Amino acid sequence: MTKKQTMTGSEIIVEVLAEKGVETIFGYSGGAILPTYDAVFQYNEKHNNAMPLIVPANEQGAGFMASGYSRATGKPGIVMVTSGPGATNTVTPVRDAMADSIPMIVICGQVNRSSIGSDAFQEAPITSVMGSVAKHVFLVTDEDKLAATMRAAFEISTSGRPGPVVVDIPKDIQTASIDFDTSSTLNINAYRERVQSIVNNRLSDEDCERFFDCLKASSRPLIYSGGGTIAADATEELRNFSTRLQVPVTTTLMGIGAIDTQSQLSLQMLGMHGTAFANYAVEDCDFIIALGSRFDDRVAAVPKQFAPKAKAVAHFDIDASEIDKVKQTDWSHVGLLKDALNDLLDYADKKDISCDFGEWNNELQELKSKHRLDFDRGSDLIQPQMVLDEINQLTKGEAIVSTGVGQHQMWSAQYFDFKEPRQWLTSGSMGTMGFGLPAAIGAQFAHPDKIVIDVDGDGSIRMNLGDMETVTTYDLPIKILLLNNAGDGMVKQWQKLYYGGRLSASDKTLHKKDFVASAKSDGFEYAERLIEKNQLKTTVKEFIECKKAAFLEVVIDPDAMVFPMVGPGMSYAQMITGDHIESRGEDPEVEPIDPKAMF
């Protein structure tokens, strides 16, 4: 039986958040959201701070904290901000979450209903602004539908392909007296039917037979796993499938951790800055099995030349629009990945299917050995890879690592090990500088007992430097590693390779920021700068073993580059491995970039 009691709109918002198991809110206050902030305060007074509200330096930081929390847990991150600039400051995190399929609920205050459209103080047309970047946007105009709308936001955000949902709530609805319906829902039946049809779409025996026909015809199959595998909570099924059939796995940037990077069947990351051996495996394979991945331009810049020897391509996804969007498939399935992989394994057991890919796996072990990652170990300057490798040896694949965007992001993807999913947090599709620090904060709130490391660059960390203070305000033991090469390293790399070495707007050697002094001013008791290579091991050990927040700036070789590299618009056959990673042949000549090529 439906129970009703009269509450304010703000109290209803908080009640629904509690009903959905929300444990942490990230946000910044302001006039149009004040009633709900007050309701959160009163709720926490009554419930022993059960839903703490974490205040960042700005609303973008709140969005990335919620994203980090979500990426580290799989639960929707919660953002609560005021109207106008408070809401528009979350546009980038919302788009970032949408691009990487991250569930998030953004609750925005809005001016009173009677003032909407009048250019009132701190008014912004959030439904229009967010409509093209979020999974869905609600503007609540009927107070009696507030609770149902909040519940629908959670349902839409977390079902199907996950994504951010924005709920725009006028201030007068927050203050209105409303009969709270504890079970009300919105009529979103058309959406539910589409999601349910995907859930119900299981593999038939005929589907399984056709898949295994492709596998049996193959001698060099390769699983190409993306972030969708992690979003689907299907990493255990992936590992079972790979192990049972002995099919090797390479992952996208977003798919890192889907398989233990130290597994013999793992080829680590493929793509523009993937390992040479993963990219060579793609060149050699004869059957591509794509799981929750979308053949994006950082993986398949030239789709027709991606896996050129593949006789068949199989594609599993929850989003039908991804099938055949970039790469034509020979077999595909739109449904829940967990169920699909289990169905295939059940069929394999029922039909007693076994495959022998021993020769292929032996070839791949040779590739991994011969074309392993490496760098200039003899340089007198500190190489960034050396720093990350040292940290990796100490953390043993168990740390949660977030990053900004740029060279440090790619080095981290290459040199860190991850035993489990949701340990690797990075802005993939959007490539948003400034993501790393707030994402680490969100992850540390999600996992207070785990080591959380933000690997950042001097360009990226400047974007949300204000949240250094947030770390110490909440006494979080986050480790912030700043790899300082005095510039926007990835931009400089492209300028050196493709733009005649003209460092237009990317060289920061004249900038005056003293990052260590900044960290100390924000309350970091451990804040050090590492310049001497011979002090690296000792300093890194102190940094990682510090029990409280720690900040380490490492002055690295300003000319260090990320290799391997598949240039824009190039195939894997044109991969540059650099001076320290063995290539199959001569590295191709670097040609001037096509101005139309994407960065």
Distance of alpha carbon 484 from alpha carbon 124, whole angstroms:
38
Distance of alpha carbon 571 from alpha carbon 304, whole angstroms:
9
CA angle 260, 262, 267 (to 5 degrees): 85
DSSP reduced 3-state for 244: helix
For every residue of 536-597, DSSP letters joined together read: HHHHHHHHHH-SS-EEEEEE--TT----SB--TT--GGG-B-TTTS--SSPPPPPPPPPTTS
Cα 51 to Cα 360, 421, 434: the distances in Å are 52, 26, 26
From the CA atom positions of the chain, what is the Rg in Å? 25
For 303, left (φ over 0), alpha (ψ -120 to 50), or beta? alpha
For every residue of 67-112, DSSP letters joined together read: HHHHHHHSSPEEEEE-STHHHHTTHHHHHHHHHTT--EEEEEEE--
Q: What is the largest CA-CA distance in the chain?
A: 75
Cα dihedral angle (12, 16, 19, 20), rounded to 10 degrees?
-170
Cα dihedral angle (260, 490, 597, 436), rounded to 10 degrees?
50
Which residues are identified as catalytic?
59, 121-122, 171, 490
Residue reference for tokens 């889907």: 258
Phi, psi angles (nearest 5°) of residue 472 = -80, -30
Query: Is the link from the previous residue into 52 a cis peptide, with omega within 30 of 0?
Result: no
